[in-house]
Structure 1
Amino acid sequence: MLAMLPLMAGAGGIQMAVSIGLDKNKSADSLAANQVASDTVQNIKTICALVSEQWTRNLFQDLLQRSVPHQARTSSWAALWYGISQGILFFSVALGFWYGSKLVQDEGLTFDKMIQSLMGVFLSALAAGQALAFVGDINEAKAAAHDIFELLDSESSINPSSDVGRKYSVWGPHVTAAPAPVNITFKNVQFTYPHRPGAQILSGLSFEIEAGKTVALVGPSGGGKSTVFALLQRFYDPTGGEILVEPAQAQLEDMNVAWWRSQVGFVAQEPVLFDLTLEENVRYGAPPIDRPEMLSICARAGMNDFAGNKVAWDAGLGPRGGLLSGGQKQRVAIARALMRHPRLLMLDEATSALDSASEAVVQKAIDELTTARQSSTDGTAAKPTTLIIAHRLSTITNADLILVIAGGRLVEQGTHSELLAKEGVYYDLYQKGSS
């Protein structure tokens, strides 16, 4: 029986080599699918804001389908070698039976003793080896299964996959000719984050934003500015009060989630790009647009100094767009927002993380976003309603309206000159920023 141990060890080695080989020989498409899944988990808010859930799902499924032929070949070879290793194991068992029969015949060993010892050694060793390999994972597996089933059983009140909610009827039947900007009204809005129910973020916030205006949100950190953006993107619903969308006086909670998000353009302080080509990143989440219009939009976003020359349109940008500089990534994000022809445009400190040279270029592109855009259908200009969060107050002096938010409330509002004349909270913030 000891003589068979090298054979059994060799069989185990073959099985281990097969397992390692399956991991190492994954196709490029399979690895790309894994990268898409990883990007999706890390950037789920951006994907939801761009209404790209279905596009991302289709990309993932397409990559998996393309990896099937390679995986089939690899699995066939793995199955062959696994069969050989299993054959060696069973040959060892057969050899043990043969030698045991010789002992029964020539040495007087009883048959039942031979069976007991032989099967006890082989089956116990196999079972123990297989079981011990997973003992450490049992508790983790139970905890993971509990979390998974709890997540699957939960229901979200904000479901982007649902068809429930109002869509085009809010703006009438001709909305596609020249997408109209929106009026936004906050009425005594209150909000606490679900994971921090004891911390009141917004405390009766009320304001009104006219369609087509450029409005800046300023105030001390933690005052609730980013929360306003999160509520307008329907990542959360207010715990009290109302958010109304003009011209139909529709509550934002009654709007279809996916459709509403498709009407909103968003540019973050740290833009999120994906491990795709430059053109795919620009088109991400956008409706079908022909190439000349795409190139025109990218020019407005200030991309001409690198797109198509320094960086080819079909060039991969690497994980999180790492091959581009901060200013270049920000301009790609601006172009992505323009591609949506948004009714509501939100800019969250889009230049605060850039150097002065990049800031000047990006600020020029932002100015393009806040000017009237021309409809290709009937020539009607339709300027998006624009909200800007800014810490550098020098970038929003030309805003139509400035809302000063502190402690979850609106403390001041007016134009730049009006607020300076009041010498209140905005005046203090501006003086600190200028010093």
Structure 2
Amino acid sequence: MATFIQGKEGRQFSSDMRAPVVRLLGMYSLQSVFTFIYIYLLSSVGERIAASMRKDLFASIMRQDMSFFDRHRTGEIVNRLTSDIQEFKSSFKLCISQGLRSTAQIVGCAVSLFIISPQMTAGMMVVIPAVIVTGTLIGSVLRKMSKQAQEQAARATSVSDEAISNIRTVRAFAMERKECELFNQQIEESRKLNETLGLGIGLFQAGTNIFLNGVVLATLCAGGYLLSLGQLSSGDLMAFLVAAQTIQRSLTQLSLLFGQVVRGLAAGGRVFEYLNMEPTMPLFGGLNIPFHSLLANVVFRDVTFSYPSRPSQIVLQHFDLELPAGKTVAIVGSSGSGKSTVAALLERFYDVDKGCISIDGVDIRNLDPSWLRGKAIGFINQEPVLFATSVMENIRYGRPDATDHEVIAAAKMANADEFITAFPNGYSTVVGERGVTVSGGQKQRIAIARALLKNPSILILDEATSALDASSEQLVQKALDNVTRGRTVLIIAHRLSTVQNADVIVVLNDGVIVETGTHSSLVKKRGFYWNLIKEQQKAEQTRGTA
């Protein structure tokens, strides 16, 4: 280059520069290609890992027992599906990209250090393991702090999720300020934990920097001493120092990654906590009773049960009940007497603690749960949930392979076809989240159609009309009268007027059957059932005069 500047051999500039320029362009192009491959592969691997974890985690959550959902709030579960996996993915990408580069530099420079001066390298190898052990111990403490901080963040998310999903209830009771105070309290607690975690990570990184700078200073002192003894040349000292500084920079980058590693490990630990959780009750596997031989005779024999979340409180004790095939059995009683628990046990949302429940003589614990819930039993509760999709798809949820004609036929049986076809878009009408755009009676009839679509042999009605007004109740009751014929029906009722035509009425009190009979026979006894009727009549008269 100096020759060209001085004007010598200027005509050869192009020919002389062509080869190095081409080599440099080739190297730059190769670097660009490898950079593209590296970034694309890292992004692809990270996204695939995150997607796989999300799918596996959601599948694991769907397999869990009902007691799992009793113990964990929705917001906490959703937080692990979203925030925790996102945190793990970000940490994975960052640690791989910067961690591999820094690790490669450390290994390469460490080899160079050993070649230049085995004595000084050996001295460094004495100090570094002690520092690594100390850092590992501090790291375990910081990981625990990070896990606590993320759990607190999940609790804050749960509060917000609960308030937003139940905004109508919040608004109805003017509890906006209270919900804000509760959310602020959780956020403040989360802030404190994260600030403490930041303090710990900051102290760790500050200590790391002191150590790394101390290594450079020790290198200068030891190298100068060896230089004075003639055991090391000045060039070797400079090379050793440059390699040590490269290691220092790489270790500094690794120390900066430490905080991200802590958060990523904590997030991954929370995700794998759910992934490794095995349910006690399988979703699939077991016996199926052929439809042509299914009589649907249900027997509860000496059943004792308490909820897993409240093991000390016995809900049902030595409970015996038979639901004869094709008959309607109603269970009545005061609130908290265990009526809905009977329905939950028949659906096998929970397993009994003692005794057994059988269908046609087969213990339901030996039956395939997916067949039991998906085909044998139809369940309609007080507040059915509709999904934010069309009316057609909400009904088809009862049997995903059903044709449009079968869906419409089920809607007609449930007295729902008339109001559905009156909608501007008919069966394609979107009902909104949780069915907020349809009335209570309409929502209930859609739920009845959904249950009917799978043509169940056993029908459970858990206070299916108690939340409706008189006119809606009449329409829904007419639909229920149509669909209960020829089926084994279990009615959980609060309004006693809806069970007067039942074949058998069972009165529950504190988990124990105290009376059994027909409406007329129980009224003549003037016992628990008669007192319940009197109390309801008195309450209705009080509401009427108010």
TM-score > 0.5, shorter chain as reference: yes
For the pair shown, the structure with the greater C-alpha radius of gyration is 2
Task: Supply the distance in 1 between the matched residues of 2:496 and 2:431 (Cα, whole angstroms).
Answer: 32
Determine which of 278, 282, 295 is the counterpart of 2:408. Answer: 295
Instruction: Say which SS state the counterpart of residue 450 (structure 2) adopts.
Output: helix
Determine which of 488, 501, 505 is the counterpart of 1:398. Answer: 501
CA-to-aligned-CA distance 1:388-409 (integer Å, 9 cap, x gap): 1111111211212111011211
With a CA cutoff of 8 Å and minimum separation of 6, indicate the structure with the bigger relative contact order. Answer: 1
Task: Supply the distance in 2 between the matched residues of 1:115 and 1:289 (Cα, whole angstroms).
Answer: 71
CA-to-aligned-CA distance 1:340-385 (integer Å, 9 cap, x gap): 1111100001122223333232222222222x3xxxxxxxxxx111
Determine which of 433, 456, 480 is the counterpart of 1:366. Answer: 480
Closer, same or farther in 2 for the Cα pair 1:145/1:182, shift >3 Å?
closer
Most deviating of 285-294 and 356-365: 285-294
Task: Supply the distance in 1 between the matched residues of 2:409 and 2:327 (Cα, whole angstroms).
Answer: 24
Task: Supply the distance in 1 between the matched residues of 2:343 and 2:242 (Cα, whole angstroms).
Answer: 77
Deviation at 1:300, TM superposition (A): 2.1
Determine which of 248, 252, 257 is the counterpart of 1:120. Answer: 248
**Amino acid of the structure 1 residue aligned with 2:494:** H
Gaps of 5+ in 2: 1-38, 67-92, 98-236, 539-546
Gaps of 5+ in 1: 1-17, 46-78, 84-108, 373-382
**Amino acid of the structure 2 residue aligned with 1:135:** V
Closer, same or farther in 2 for the Cα pair 1:161/1:277, shift >3 Å?
same
Deviation at 1:329, TM superposition (A): 1.8
Determine which of 316, 341, 347 is the counterpart of 1:202. Answer: 316
**Amino acid of the structure 2 residue aligned with 1:296:** A
Structure 1 residues 173-184: aligned runs within 5 Å: 174-175=292-293, 181-184=295-298
Task: Supply the distance in 2 between the matched residues of 1:347 and 1:203 (Cα, whole angstroms).
Answer: 22
CA contact (8 A) 2:304 2:352 kept: yes
CA contact (8 A) 2:392 2:407 kept: no
**Amino acid of the structure 2 residue aligned with 1:210:** P
Task: Supply the distance in 1 between the matched residues of 2:409 and 2:268 (Cα, whole angstroms).
Answer: 52
Task: Supply the distance in 1 between the matched residues of 2:448 and 2:295 (Cα, whole angstroms).
Answer: 18
Closer, same or farther in 2 for the Cα pair 1:293/1:118, shift >3 Å?
closer
Match of 2:523 in 1: 420
Match of 2:283 in 1: 160
CA contact (8 A) 2:332 2:493 kept: yes
CA contact (8 A) 1:245 1:251 kept: yes
**Amino acid of the structure 1 residue aligned with 2:269:** K
Matched, 1:257 2:369: yes
CA contact (8 A) 1:271 1:329 kept: yes
Match of 2:256 in 1: 129
Closer, same or farther in 2 for the Cα pair 1:254/1:119, shift >3 Å?
closer
**Amino acid of the structure 2 residue aligned with 1:365:** A
Question: Moved runs in structure 1, 4+ residues, more than 4 A?
Answer: 40-45
TM-score under structure 1 normalisation? 0.65
Closer, same or farther in 2 for the Cα pair 1:119/1:127, shift >3 Å?
same
CA contact (8 A) 2:65 2:279 kept: no
Kindly indicate which of the two structures has a greater share of residues assigned to helix.
2
Match of 1:329 in 2: 443
Deviation at 1:125, TM superposition (A): 4.4
Deviation at 1:333, TM superposition (A): 0.8
Match of 1:94 in 2: none
Matched, 1:307 2:420: yes
Match of 1:9 in 2: none
Sequence identity (%):
37
**Amino acid of the structure 2 residue aligned with 1:265:** G
Closer, same or farther in 2 for the Cα pair 1:341/1:255, shift >3 Å?
same
Task: Supply the distance in 2 between the matched residues of 1:139 and 1:430 (Cα, whole angstroms).
Answer: 57
CA-to-aligned-CA distance 1:235-263 (integer Å, 9 cap, x gap): 223222232323xx333333232222221
Instruction: Say which SS state the counterpart of residue 307 (structure 1) adopts.
Output: helix
CA contact (8 A) 1:274 1:320 kept: yes
Closer, same or farther in 2 for the Cα pair 1:269/1:43, shift >3 Å?
farther
**Amino acid of the structure 2 residue aligned with 1:292:** H
Match of 1:90 in 2: none
TM-score under structure 2 normalisation? 0.53
Closer, same or farther in 2 for the Cα pair 1:42/1:278, shift >3 Å?
farther
Instruction: Say which SS state the counterpart of residue 193 (structure 1) adopts.
Output: coil
Instruction: Say which SS state the counterpart of residue 313 (structure 1) adopts.
Output: helix
Matched, 1:348 2:430: no
Deviation at 1:114, TM superposition (A): 4.1
Closer, same or farther in 2 for the Cα pair 1:137/1:288, shift >3 Å?
closer
Closer, same or farther in 2 for the Cα pair 1:332/1:132, shift >3 Å?
same
CA-to-aligned-CA distance 1:64-118 (integer Å, 9 cap, x gap): xxxxxxxxxxxxxxx9xxx9xxxxxxxxxxxxxxxxxxxxxxxxx9444344445
